[in-house]
Amino acid sequence: MNAPKHTPGPWEVRIAGKDPRPCVFGHDGLPTALAAGVAVARCEREADARLIAAAPDLLAGAERALEILRSITDLPSDLAPFRETAAKMLNEAIARATGEP
């Protein structure tokens, strides 16, 4: 695994000052992302902000799960297709998150 190219986690959601839009802050206390949208309800913006804030942990979990899947060698043959599907999904999600091809 390569060093992350994103702001290191953990990230947290806070309302910053008088701006009612939820903001995601990095471990250094600096803003990382703003959950905005003119036509989006506040509860949806807050849900989006929570999802964004969980991104570093989700990426780390996906990378670890992929390692575990790859290390399983004695899987029953009827479960192998499920492992391959899960590995493909994890690979695609990790690639999207990291910008890797």
Strand bridging mode 22-25 / 31-34 = antiparallel
pTM of the model: 0.73
27 φ, ψ (degrees, to nearest 5): -60, -20
d(CA 25, CA 33): 7
Check: CB of residue 8 under 8 Å from CB of residue 56: yes
Per-residue pLDDT tens digits for 44-70: 778 888 888 899 999 999 999 999 999
Per-residue pLDDT tens digits for 36-46: 665 556 677 78
d(CA 86, CA 65): 9
